[in-house]
Amino acid sequence: MSIQVVPLGAGQDVGRSCVLITIKGKNIMFDCGMHMGYNDARRFPDFTYISKTGRFTEILDAVIITHFHLDHCGALPFFTEMCGYDGPIYMTHPTKAICPILLEDYRKITVERKGETNFFTSCMIKDCMKKVIPINLHETIRVDDDLEIKAYYAGHVLGAAMFYVRVGNESVVYTGDYNMTPDRHLGSAWIDKVRPDVLITESTYGTTIRDSKRSRERDFLKKVHDCVANGGNVLIPVFALGRAQELCILIESYWERMGLDVPVYFSAGLTERANNYYKLFINWTNQKVKSTFVERNMFDFKHIKAWNRTMLDHKGPMVVFATPGMLNLGTSLEIFKRWAPDPKNMVILPGYCAAGTVGAKVLQNQKLIEVDKFTKIQVNLQVRNLSFSAHADAKGIMQLIRHCEPRNVVLVHGEKGSMDFLKGKIVKELDIPCFNPANGVSINIKTRLSMQATVSTELLRSFLVADAKSRVKAAEPSADTTGPTRAISINGTLIIRQDDTNKSIVKLISNEQYKAEFEQQQQA
């Protein structure tokens, strides 16, 4: 048997996440995202790989969306309402609540500001979300008699989940985006030791091991403070939910502690709605937010006010959190155009910028950036890249793989160079086969034949006793107790018989018992 995996997006690339798997005849599509770096047909996955005649509902058994970021859900209304998919779609409750708002913002910018016509409408977004079946954390949903899925906490953003999919005795884990370290408002990712046949993991920061979070926070606050103290403006491009709340909490507490009166603004009209989502889904936040929530809502900011476009003409220092996070369009790009020529100003890019976006060009130190054929930006302002990204770094990815104990690993959502490095590390250190296919490239991963069998009490007892003795020995000071606990190997003879109804009965007995039974039969 084998499991087929093909990325329709995020294969040796970041953006347009969409991974198709076939497991025991079941077809599941993980994520359905858009690419920030393209404004043409390439922004969406190439769904013709699934069907050239639009038979998507017939072919796919389920679509699973891991979280609300547009590079994971931005193509969903296009796929359901314009391509015609009408099957089940699964996502968590927070993702279902927040997705339509970000999709509508994306539609407004694309259609109303850029004037594109062949795009999904507000009505299509609503119709798409009606098809969604919400799933709770640790809830197992049976899609049909054979296919079951289960969601696990991924950190990253509110509502993000990793998904475990099982068909018979074969299984896959798809991580989406996740974070293995807790932050100021979310906990760290967690999953059972499920030992899947295939683990499909993001690899955005596959070559990075981050320094301490505290030193990054100090560095961020110092750079912001120094810039405004010298009369400059600070632009911090963020996505409306996630890192935005993390950095706002940081700035809010620093402004309060230092008694600063420099204005701080948040550009998205989502701030108030974001607070409502954090109240509604408080159980998704970390323990500190939960424990202080009754006395004080951490997301009610005293020093951070709503942004108004007229403030662009105001003189004097200010700090602005503006969406979106990669400077590819919207308010963040509008402010950047105005502030970029002045060397007193600063832009701090706190997360990953996909290739082709203005943010990526800024990080490459390009001094003249062509946004489109009509717009060029002279870049003289100070540029800082401080990683507050909510993605796992190389250490976190390896930690998840060690814990999960998969038989195979597939890397997606990363640049090829990072993937190749991480792939070598996984194979060398963990001795696990690893793959990193490009978009449209299909791989077949062989799975082990397995069957259920009853084990004789005598045989099981003998191996459990031997295992217990080895554990006692391992607890001695001289013993090496590092490494994960492994399953117990039981050696014996496998007996396969058929009962009166022609049903196969599989039993594992000790070699001694088999020898005795065989001799008994011979004598009979």
- Indicate which residues carry an active-site annotation: 202
Report how far residue 266's alpha carbon sits from residue 109's, in angstroms, rounded to the nearest whole number. 18
Other C-beta atoms closer than 10 Å to the C-beta of 296 total 8
**Strand pairing class (18-23; 26-30):** antiparallel
DSSP state of 43: G
CA angle 182, 184, 185 (to 5 degrees): 85
How many alpha carbons lie under 13 Å from residue 19 in its C-beta half-sphere? 35
Residue 88 CB partners (closer than 8 Å, separation 6+) = 61, 62, 63, 131, 133, 143
Report how far residue 117's alpha carbon sits from residue 164's, in angstroms, rounded to the nearest whole number. 38
CA angle 251, 285, 323 (to 5 degrees): 45
| Sheet-wide strand order for 504-509 | 454-455, 504-509, 493-498
Report how far residue 18's alpha carbon sits from residue 466's, in angstroms, rounded to the nearest whole number. 47
Residue 95 and residue 64 in contact, taking contact as beta carbons nearer than 8 Å? no
CA-based nearest residue to 132, from 210, 73, 82: 73
What sign for the dihedral angle of Cα 349, 314, 111, 100?
A: positive
Residue 349 CB partners (closer than 8 Å, separation 6+) = 237, 325, 327, 359, 362, 363, 383, 384, 385, 386
- Cα 296 vs. chain centroid, distance in angstroms? 30
Q: At 4, is the secondary structure helix, strand, or coil?
A: strand
Q: Which residue has the tokens 């197992």?
A: 140
Q: At 481, is the secondary structure helix, strand, or coil?
A: coil
- Most distant CA pair in the chain: distance in Å? 103
